[in-house]
Amino acid sequence: NVEKHFGELCQIFAGYVRKTARLRDKADLLVNEIYAYAATETPNLKVGLKNFADEFSRLQDYRQAEVDRLEAKVVEPLKCYGAIVKLKRDDLKATLTAKNREAKQLSQLERTRQRNPSDLHIIVSYISSYYEEYF
């Protein structure tokens, strides 16, 4: 459950970061076009357009800082957390498998003891194989 939701959050944040970065790229194109248009206009309009383009470019610098912060502080930790959850899940699965296998062997040993309590050779072989495997 956690892995699914953190994966979704990571994908959504990564998509948001990519779209914000694309918006920054489009804004840079817009600033370049405004500069090109300003070069063909009268001096007063030229100054106004260049001032507007400069301010708009500064806004995009803040947007780039937002993209960098989101990438570093949100997306990367979420990606790392996903890998940690996967490793822990695999570790838990291996532990449970070993526990179940051990319980099965102990139940086989108990059945053997109940069937043939006097046959020590079989009982000792079960016990020795158990200790070899787990200790």
Domain boundaries, the chain: 2-134
Alpha-helical (H) ranges within the chain are 2-38, 43-70, 76-115, 120-134
The SS3 of residue 119 is: coil
Cβ-proximal residues to 37 (8 Å cutoff; 6+ apart), any chain: 49
With 70 as the cut, is the pLDDT of residue 134 above it? no
What pTM does this model have?
0.61
* 84-127 pLDDT tens trace: 888 888 999 999 998 898 888 778 778 877 877 777 777 777 67
